[in-house]
Structure 1
Amino acid sequence: MTLSVVRDEKTGVAVVTLNRPEKHNAIDLETAAELAAAWRGFRYDEAIRAVVLTGAGGKAFCTGIDRAAEVPQPTSPYAIDDPLLTIGPKANDLWKPVIAAVRGMACGGAFYLLGEVEFVIAAEDATFFDPHTTYGMVSAYESAHLATRLPFGEAARLALMGTAERVSARRAYETGLVSEVTAPGEEVGAALACAETLASYPTGAVQGTVRALWTTRAPALADSFAHAPHLIALGNLPAERQGELFGRRGKGRGKGFRVR
């Protein structure tokens, strides 16, 4: 199993943990399927009324899709098979509140998850970045999520600067991506405290409020997602050239970037 799910029926809270620390919690096809199944399962689990989402290992919350995962693509520029499109709670029709607890790196495809939680609590050592442009790829779905959670200029800077710049937890808090910053190791506890409060309230009122909040974002995301396949098809370098850039710059990952 690449996903850990711990349920606490007494508090009504479940903790979902991405459990591939050796891969910085990158998402392969198995993890994507397990995430979708977990979210859909919670819809029928009346004992669970709120969820905390986190990553194992302390070095990364999630670093997006595992580049070793082979995903055949359709030949049409208007279609794309993206396994990350179904990894979030809203994509699986779950309207129970989900709170993310982030420590370490959160980058690239991590925003498919962070874009579908109610709010984010981050440790002081968390950093946020999107490597797509660095490696010749269009940030489409990720940018759509960022643009609905951040001021436009901040979303644009994060998406465009690639690996050259990482947004600190403190800056993410200042711009609204993160709602609370904790000492390292305390982020899950803080998220649990919020989740337990939400789980103690009448569930219909909480889920209705989640749904009401989401209606303000869903139209913008739907419109952006409709454009994403052909923007990716037009703008991405061929896979082999992406791999060349990834190999060349990946050796220096962690060096030469700026944290703000």
Structure 2
Amino acid sequence: MKTLDVSADKSTGVTVVTLDRPQRLNAIDLTMHDELRATWRELRFDDTVRAVVLTGAGERAFSTGLDRDAVVPQPGSPYMADDPLLRVGPKSNDLWKPVIAAVRGMACGGAFYLLGESDFLVADTTAAFFDPHTSYGMVSAYESVLMAQRMPYGEVARMMLMGTAERLCAQRAHDIGLVSELTEPGAALAAATECATVIAGYPPEGVQGTVRALWAAKEAALAAGFAQAPHLVALGNLPAERQTELFHGRRAGAFRVR
């Protein structure tokens, strides 16, 4: 079963990529991982596509990150741990066409791999951002590095360290610059598509060069942060069974909205 819906409007040059597992809050399983990678690679070769909008199906979530039921095979060597989300974003697949994220509902944890590689975010007032890693005895490494490029340090530190106890509301996300435009409920996709249509109307060489230049400004910091991430995860993560215990013990807990 396909986990993505890809809709191209040849008249505008805009393609909408929708994470399509609403029954699982658009969590990324290994099938979606493979489909995302294939989609980004295909869009590289389609010159009729000049801008992309990335969104999630349903009203409850953009994405809640890696599906907890996904079984990720790992090499026996501690030097070759596999993180399946490291290659799900457009930039990590060498797609240098603009990608605008349209966020409705929850965006948390591994969703930041996708948001971190989008060029800007549009969200509606139902959007909420948080990272559950620390609550479950896990290190937020790659997610923290990506979000540190998009938010003031104190804001991203608070979000990552507070875990499931607190969610960053759409208005606050807009106030601090994580979200560039805030819409009424259900209107984020239309607003993001409107922006994408404008951008797609410009000469693609200049647009893609600008995307590449903007990303180049962040690459050194990302590379330095990512280089530390595997060691921090290996040292700081609790054993998988303890993570599962904490997950089931905390997932129904109360949280505050900031």
TM-score of the superposition, structure 2-length normalised?
0.98
Note the 1:228-247 alignment, pairs <5 A. Answer: 228-247=229-248
Q: Which residue of 1 aligns with 2:254?
A: 256
CA contact (8 A) 1:77 1:230 kept: no
> 1 CA distance for matches of 2:209 and 2:199?
13
Q: What amino acid is the match of 1:207?
A: Q
Q: Which amino acid aligns with 1:59?
A: R
The equivalent residue for 2:193 is 192
Report the Cα distance in structure 2 between the residues aligned to 1:153 and 1:91, rounded to whole angstroms: 27
Aligned position for 1:226: 227
Partner of 2:27: 26
CA separation in 2, counterparts of 1:98 and 1:131?
25
Quote the Cα distance in structure 1 between the aligned partners of 2:90 and 2:73.
24
Identity, % of aligned positions: 65
- In the TM superposition, residue 248 of structure 1 has moved relative to its aligned partner by 1.1
User: What is the aligned residue count?
Assistant: 257
- Code of the aligned partner of 1:248: G
C-alpha separation in 1, matches of 2:141 and 2:78: 14
Q: State whether structure 2 residue 103 is matched by structure 1 residue 102.
A: yes
Alignment root-mean-square deviation, CA:
0.8
CA separation in 1, counterparts of 2:111 and 2:254?
22
* CA contact 1:79–1:229 (8 Å) conserved in 2: no
Deviation at 1:30, TM superposition (A): 0.3
**Corresponding position of 1:204:** 205
Partner residue, 1:73: 74
Structure 1 stretches (4+) deviating beyond 4 angstroms? none
- State the shift of 1:80 in Å: 1.9
Q: Which amino acid aligns with 1:60?
A: A
TM-score normalised to the size of structure 1? 0.97
2:61 equivalent in structure 1: 60
| Distance (whole Å) between structure 2 residues aligned to residue 128 and residue 67 of structure 1 | 18
CA distance in 2, matches of 1:78, 1:226: 12
Counterpart of 1:216 in 2: which secondary structure? helix
Map 1:63-212 to 2 at 5 A: 63-212=64-213
CA drift at 1:234: 0.3
- Cα contact 1:129–1:165 (8 A) shared by 2: yes
Q: Are 1:89 and 1:95, in contact at CA under 8 Å, matched by a contact in 2? A: yes
Gaps of 5+ in 1: none
Letter in 1 for 2:163: G
